Structure 1
Amino acid sequence: MADEREGPRPNRGPAAAADNRRALIAAAREEFAAGGLEVAFSAIARRAGVGQGSLYRHFPTKIELAAAVFEDNIDELERAGSLDALFDAIVAQARMSAAFLDAVVSARDVPAVQHIGERMAVLVGALLAADQAAGRVDGAIAREDVLLVVTMLARTVAAAAPEEQADVLTRSRALFARALSPR
């Protein structure tokens, strides 16, 4: 008996759209984490098991795809209960975060990118206010300061060689803790 998976998959048409979108986002997360934003669209489509036409229908540009991936990451970041927990989550997502930060720099006017930036600003503002109220962060620290720290942390950890990332993380976190602590 032949394996049912042999040959082309049946075309499910519009019914497959949501599954294809999820598969594309998951594939893009893995590909971006491994190779940054330079990864080819064809590699993402192949990993997702869909054609490039499907990829372009969902995400006409790489920036929009990166924004969709980071939108999912923001959901995880929103579960952070403090700036420390946020920094830990950013580090866990560092490679993808750095890729998205590169996208943000080059595409500030893309609505999907603006939306992510707004969500991140709201999240950081809420966590900062809570940490300041608890006396863990200096009251003079502004939301923009913490956003800068997040950007620096993601880029620094992502740029470090894999064998150096733990040390870079430890040193970066110590510096940021001193910089943000109450005076």
Structure 2
Amino acid sequence: MTQHPTAAARRPANRGPKAAAGNRAALISAAREIYAAQGLDAPLSGIARRAGVGQAVLYRHFPDRDAIAAAVLEENVRQIEQAAGEGTALAGVLGVLTWHLTQSAAFISLLHADEASGGHPHTRTFARDLHDRVERTLRQCLPEGHRLGAPGDLMLAVSMVSGAVSGPTPEQREHRALAAWGLLGVTVGPVRPFEG
């Protein structure tokens, strides 16, 4: 006679609070992947499935769609800051920034925060704060006399590249982003997430 495992035997053991940080990181990573493939309106259930957790775990960490999108954007900026903080040259930091541009339409919108006119004031403030952090981070890596050193040129270049990032696949978006940087005469390092 075939014995079927009980529900408790099929389910992985609950690791309790120890799993919280890992679950949160998995949810952010899964959200980035899902959003890159399906856009910001992707079902939250798909994010939970991709992360390997139940929807209750997702809602425990992120009470709504805006909260998880904000966490992804915050993580993008944090990776750019970490890359710069470890002494990475401008080209390397731009490689990390370009990876995020090719993965996230929401990140592109963030970089245009100074142009945001509508929406909730809290959202505009959040976007402006992250935008300013990206600019400060890139500026600290900018070598003396760099072609993007004039006030406003750095983020204008980033906006121009982000405007060129289009295409149905990350590979096509990366190709277009690198071509745009090349037209601006700016060297970019490997396009990859920061894993420090």
TM normalised by structure 1 equals: 0.71
CA distance in 2, matches of 1:72, 1:152: 23
Aligned to 2:192: none
Whether 1:109 and 2:122 are equivalent positions in the alignment is: yes
Question: Aligned AA for 1:44?
Answer: I
Q: Does 1:136 align with 2:150?
A: no
What is the match of residue 11 of structure 2? 8
Specify the SS of the correspondent of 1:151.
helix
> In the TM superposition, what is the alpha-carbon distance from 1:172 to its structure 2 partner?
0.9
Matches for 1:44-63 after TM superposition, within 5 Å: 44-63=47-66
Distance 1:82 1:48 in 2: 33
Q: Does 1:149 align with 2:162?
A: no
CA contact (8 A) 1:27 1:47 kept: yes
Q: Distance in 2 between matches of 1:47 and 1:153?
A: 30
Deviation at 1:126, TM superposition (A): 1.6
Letter in 1 for 2:134: M
> Partners of 1:21 and 1:93 in 2: how far apart?
19
From the superposition, tell whether residues 136 and 100 of structure 1 become closer, same or farther in structure 2 (CA, over 3 Å): closer
Against the structure 1 CA distance between its residues 98 and 15, is the aligned structure 2 distance closer, same or farther, given a 3 Å change threshold? same
Q: Partners of 1:50 and 1:166 in 2: how far apart?
A: 30
CA distance in 2, matches of 1:170, 1:18: 34
What's the offset of the Cα at 1:122?
A: 1.8
The answer to which of 89-98 and 162-171 deviates more is 162-171
- 1:125 aligned partner: 139
How far apart in 2 are the matches of 1:152 and 1:108? 25
Tell me the distance in 2 between the aligned counterparts of 1:167 and 1:11.
Answer: 43
Number of residue equivalences: 171
Considering Cα pairs closer than 8 Å and 6+ residues apart, tell me whether 1 or 2 has the greater RCO: 2
* Per-residue deviation, residues 49-70 of structure 1 (Å, max 9, x unmatched): 2222221221123332223223
What is the deviation of 1:45?
0.8
1:84 equivalenced with 2:91 (yes/no)? yes
**AA at the equivalent of 1:136:** H
Contact 1:98 1:155 in 2 (8 A): no
For structure 1, list consecutive stretches of 5 or more residues without a partner in the other structure: 179-183
Structure (1/2) with the larger helix percentage: 1
* Greater Cα shift, 40-49 or 2-11: 2-11
Counterpart-to-counterpart distance in 2, 1:166 and 1:19:
29
Deviation, 1:43, is: 0.5
Q: Which whole-Å CA distance do the structure 2 matches of 1:165 and 1:8 have between them?
A: 39
TM-score of the pair, normalised by structure 2: 0.67
Is 1:22 aligned to residue 32 of structure 2? no
Question: Which residue does the alignment assign to 1:181?
Answer: none
* 1:63/1:107 contact within 8 Å kept: no
- Residue 31 of structure 1: aligned partner: 34
1:168 maps onto 2:176 in alignment: yes
SS of corresponding position for 2:122: coil
**Does the C-alpha gap of structure 1 residues 3 and 115 become closer, same or farther in structure 2, counting only changes over 3 Å?**
farther
Measured in 2, the distance between the counterparts of 1:145 and 1:2 equals 65
